[in-house]
Amino acid sequence: MGSDKLNRHYKKNSSGFKDWIQKEHAEKYLLFEENMGPNLSIDEVSLSKGELYTFLTNKSGRGRSGTLVACIKGTLSKDIIEVLEKISVEKRLKVKEVTLDMAKNMEAAMKKVFTEAKLVTDRFHVVRLAMEALQHIRVNIKWKEMDKENAAVKQAKEKNVKYEPEELENGDTPKQLLARCRYALAKKESEWTENQKERTGILFKKYPELKTAYNLTMNFRNIYEDRIISNARVRFTDWCNGVMEKEIKEFYTVANTVKYNLDNILNFFINRNTNANAESFNSKIKLFRANLRGVTDTKFFLFRLAKLFA
């Protein structure tokens, strides 16, 4: 029997898809109330052609059977609320914590549905804001160096002389230095290799604004090593005030985002839970999708996901 014929036989006869109880509304939502638990995670993932679905998962499921609580088409708060309110009030009141990213639509839905739960803004997403601000400064400097180099090349051509780029003490040109330090800037100083130590030493000497930005980013990351929530609140507040005093505009958005989401960010320090399990679950969905070479039948794909994770 050919693989296509075998697949069709599985779908129509042996899988149970034909009589699946959630088949009628599967493309709009799936709901598995029996998989509810006190600690949940919520995130969105694209199934096919950029079509987003929101997945609510139980942390205690650990990415195996019993993990999937709900799958909802789209990311609108009203759609998420409408589906999750089908879960009994008794079970919803038992939810104590929900981890999520910084999307306001998710936050609004979780506040409405799980009134007794603390919302925890994922540590990775918060730290990534600071990392992106640092890299934004690096890229801006790199573009300026490229403009400077292009102007120098043009001038050399006009004078009919050979252009000789500036060479730094480690053999890099300024443009190369800024490109090659990308990964070093994403690491703590204690994790640098000897080459990275040399390169960042030259980098910070030539571009002191990058050293300031790097120190700000590392100080921000280090706050998450604190174990006391009151200390973390003070450190986050001091960090935000320091950004404003230094007038580094690339970090203004980070500081303001922290201020507006501080309560949810600080909830991390209660149980130190992250949204990593939701990200891992998303990766499993993407791998499953890749193994099937894409999603041709969304309803059947969701049925197979339910068999695996619900």
- Tens digit of each residue's pLDDT (9 = 90 or more) over 57-70: 999 888 788 899 99
Task: Please give the Cα distance from 164 to 156 (Å, whole number).
Answer: 9
The single residue listed with the structure tokens 């174990």 is: 227
The single residue listed with the structure tokens 């999937």 is: 68
Question: pLDDT digit string (tens) for 205-227?
Answer: 999 999 999 999 999 999 999 99
Residue 1, pLDDT above cutoff 60: no
Asked if 102 contacts 121 with a C-beta cutoff of 8 angstroms, the reply is yes
- What sign does the CA torsion over 196, 201, 202, 208 have? positive
- What sign does the CA torsion over 191, 194, 195, 200 have? positive
Residue 15, pLDDT above cutoff 70: no
- DSSP-based three-state secondary structure for 63: coil
Predicted model pTM: 0.85
Which two structure tokens, joined as six digits, stand for 160?
């009919």
Q: What is the pLDDT of residue 289?
A: 78
The single residue listed with the structure tokens 């509304």 is: 25
Residues 6+ apart with CB under 8 A from 226: 232, 235, 269
Chain centroid to Cα 24, Å, comes to 32
Nearest to 281 by CA among 66, 17, 8: 66
Which two structure tokens, joined as six digits, stand for 146?
């490229």
Amino acid identity at 35? N
The single residue listed with the structure tokens 């507040």 is: 237
Q: What is the pLDDT of residue 216?
A: 94
Strand partners of residue 58? 40
Q: What is the pLDDT of residue 187?
A: 93
Question: pLDDT digit string (tens) for 96-129?
Answer: 999 999 889 999 999 999 999 999 999 999 999 9
Can you identify the CATH homologous superfamily of domain 3-122+274-309?
Ribonuclease H-like superfamily/Ribonuclease H (3.30.420.10)
Mean pLDDT confidence for 179-200: 93
Nearest to 61 by CA among 46, 40, 47, 75: 40
179: left (phi over 0), alpha (psi -120 to 50) or beta: alpha
Task: Please give the Cα distance from 276 to 190 (Å, whole number).
Answer: 25
What is the band of 12 on the pLDDT scale with cuts at 50, 70, 90?
low
Would you kindly state where each structural domain of the chain is located, as residue ranges?
3-122+274-309, 124-263
Task: Please give the Cα distance from 274 to 271 (Å, whole number).
Answer: 9
Q: What is the pLDDT of residue 279?
A: 86
What is the band of 4 on the pLDDT scale with cuts at 50, 70, 90?
low
- DSSP-based three-state secondary structure for 303: helix
What is the band of 307 on the pLDDT scale with cuts at 50, 70, 90?
confident
